[in-house]
A and B are shown apart, each in its own frame.
Chain A
Amino acid sequence: MRIFDPHIHMTSRTTDDYERMAAAGVRALVEPAFWLGQPRTNVGSFTDYFDSLVGWEPFRAAQFGIRHHCTIALNPKEANDPRCREVLDVLPRYLNKDGVVAVGEIGYDSMTADEDSAFAAQLALAVEFELPALVHTPHRDKIRGTRRSLDVVRESGIEPGRVVIDHLNEVTIGLVKDSGCWMGFSIYPDTKMSPSRMVALLQEYGPARVLVNSAADWGRSDPLLTLRTGEAMLAAGFGDDDVDRVLWRNPVEFYGQSKRLEPEAAPTGEATFEGNSILRGGS
């Protein structure tokens, strides 16, 4: 099984995870820029984070043979802090980079006016830089948040086929399917979506425009739930081709719209050093 995880926050994960992911068949991934648990208070914290997403983290992933791409944005939660909003001004510095394959995560957290304007401004950047957009849907008030996100997407003029609406579930999938946007599902140990529920949704709605991710981060999450979902699909009678479509070809097609995706290329920065630990100079 070859796996492309279209949404995983590797910055928060260990080298053990990279090893387990590589062994499980994960060959490529996309790491969206998001918040880090601890709110940031200035633009410099963001630029250092973005630098890591286009610098150190791809290098780290390459040690394990995994191709790393990222998305860049001011996330909805921190868009509410006036000290962070200037991040919008530095985004053009990052959106033209080879490893940046979408604008994201954008969208809503609490559906404030500040979130509205940051969301719209960043969809405009996606159009300007010819990038797809990754839209996070809120944890609370999810149905209205999803509906409102689809309205903003429609008003922005971006093609729906270049947008993924993420963290969907049984009650929000229908709205997004009808919109023409891609449908993202984050498989979590016990919250957002589980492998068995995902299989039921695939049986009902089919595999077209579906992205399955682990969204693993600093919270309780599991980078191998993509693999578990593939296994659950096979157990439920889906064929290898369906699994490959959902776990590999769909994310390649979606992010490939950036024309910057190289999922099959050898990761750059593969270490030429002896030994098997990540380089950590001085130890």
Chain B
Amino acid sequence: MTWLTEAIETVEREPAKIGRLFPAAGRHTGSAHADEARVEMLKALPLRGDALTVEVRALYRYGDAAEKRAVLLALPHLDVGASCVDLLRDALRTNDTRLVAAALGPYATHLDAEAWRQGVLKCVFMGVPLENVHDLDRRADAELGVMLGDLHAERTAAGRTLADDAVALLGRLR
């Protein structure tokens, strides 16, 4: 039995054990598979409602950057409603490109338009590829266009550029 299979069975049987298994997933499954392994462990939690939310939030709170990213990636697959939207806000306050990118996946439908636009703008600012942003073309609006246009003007004035995907988005919004 692989480490992950065993870990998932343990979590299904004794959900509290995820606290020790979740952080160890990187070294046991290899860093390339760690996101996927951790998402599967979260999906295996036999908890509902508040109990699930409490566990998910604790894993994020005490997680290292890789664990936090895995929690963010798992959110759309977990039955937590909008109760964890503040985790996205926390991730968007960081300057860690991996967390910022993971915060704008499908769960970001729970983010209000203002926070979502700031998140997209931050991606552009940090050079995070916009292909990571869920539902970009449907949600991008005129206000985001104004914000991107201003950033573009600042960069141009400084003799710098925006990434091609951001310039293309700006073109679509103008």
List the interface of chain A (C-beta within 8 A of B): 47, 51, 54-56, 58-59, 90, 92-94, 96-99, 259-260, 262, 265, 268-269, 271-275, 278-282
Please report which residues of chain B, range 95-129, place their CB below 8 angstroms from some CB of chain A when the two chains form the complex.
Answer: 95-98, 122, 125-129
Smallest CB separation, A93 vs chain B (Å): 4
Q: Are B127 and A269 in contact (CB under 8 A)?
A: no
Point out the residues of chain A lying under 8 angstroms from B161, CB to CB.
274
A-B contact pairs, 30 of them (CB 8 A): A51-B62, A51-B64, A55-B65, A55-B94, A56-B65, A56-B94, A59-B65, A59-B95, A90-B62, A93-B62, A96-B20, A97-B64, A97-B67, A98-B26, A98-B31, A98-B66, A259-B27, A268-B65, A268-B66, A268-B98, A269-B96, A269-B98, A272-B97, A273-B126, A273-B127, A278-B95, A281-B95, A281-B122, A281-B126, A282-B125
CA distance A184 to B89 in the complex (A): 42
Q: Are A279 and B97 in contact (CB under 8 A)?
A: yes
CA distance A185 to B126 in the complex (A): 40
Does B68 have its Cβ within 8 Å of any Cβ on chain A?
Answer: yes
Q: Which residue of the partner chain A has the closest CB to B62?
A: A93
Contact string, B12-56, partner A, CB cutoff 8 A, digits 1/0? 000000011001101100010010000000000000000000000
Point out the residues of chain A lying under 8 angstroms from B67, CB to CB.
97
Smallest CB separation, A231 vs chain B (Å): 34
- Judged by DSSP, the binding face of B is helix
Point out the residues of chain B lying under 8 angstroms from A282, CB to CB.
125
Q: Are A271 and B127 in contact (CB under 8 A)?
A: yes
Q: How many chain-B residues does the 8 Å CB contact rule pick out?
A: 28
Contacts A56-B96, A269-B97 known; A98 to B126 CB distance under 8 Å?
no
Q: With contacts defined as CB atoms under 8 Å apart, how many contacts are there between chain A and chain B in the complex? A: 77
Please report which residues of chain B, range 4-18, place their CB below 8 angstroms from some CB of chain A when the two chains form the complex.
Answer: none
Does B146 have its Cβ within 8 Å of any Cβ on chain A?
Answer: no
Does B163 have its Cβ within 8 Å of any Cβ on chain A?
Answer: yes
Which residue of A51, A265, A273 is within 8 Å of B128 (Cβ)?
A273
Which residue of A58, A98, A281 is within 8 Å of B24 (Cβ)?
A98
Point out the residues of chain A lying under 8 angstroms from B34, CB to CB.
98
List the interface of chain B (C-beta within 8 A of A): 19-20, 23-24, 26-27, 31, 34, 62, 64-68, 94-98, 122, 125-129, 160-161, 163
Which residue of A59, A90, A93 is within 8 Å of B96 (Cβ)?
A59
Point out the residues of chain B lying under 8 angstroms from A96, CB to CB.
20, 23-24
CA distance A58 to B34 in the complex (A): 17
Q: Are B129 and A272 in contact (CB under 8 A)?
A: yes
Q: Which of A58, A59, A92: most chain B Cβ within 10 A?
A: A59
Point out the residues of chain B lying under 8 angstroms from A93, CB to CB.
19, 62
Smallest CB separation, A126 vs chain B (Å): 16
Smallest CB separation, B136 vs chain A (Å): 17
Q: Which residue of the partner chain B has the closest CB to A260?
A: B27
Contacts A98-B26, A99-B64 known; A268 to B96 CB distance under 8 Å?
no
CA distance A271 to B95 in the complex (A): 11
CA distance A96 to B66 in the complex (A): 13
Point out the residues of chain B lying under 8 angstroms from A54, CB to CB.
64-65
Q: Which of B64, B66, B95, B127: most chain A Cβ within 10 A?
A: B64
Contacts A59-B65, A279-B97 known; A268 to B31 CB distance under 8 Å?
yes
Point out the residues of chain A lying under 8 angstroms from B125, CB to CB.
281-282
Which residue of A58, A259, A275, A281 is within 8 Å of B65 (Cβ)?
A58
CA distance A102 to B129 in the complex (A): 36
CA distance A89 to B97 in the complex (A): 31
Smallest CB separation, B133 vs chain A (Å): 14
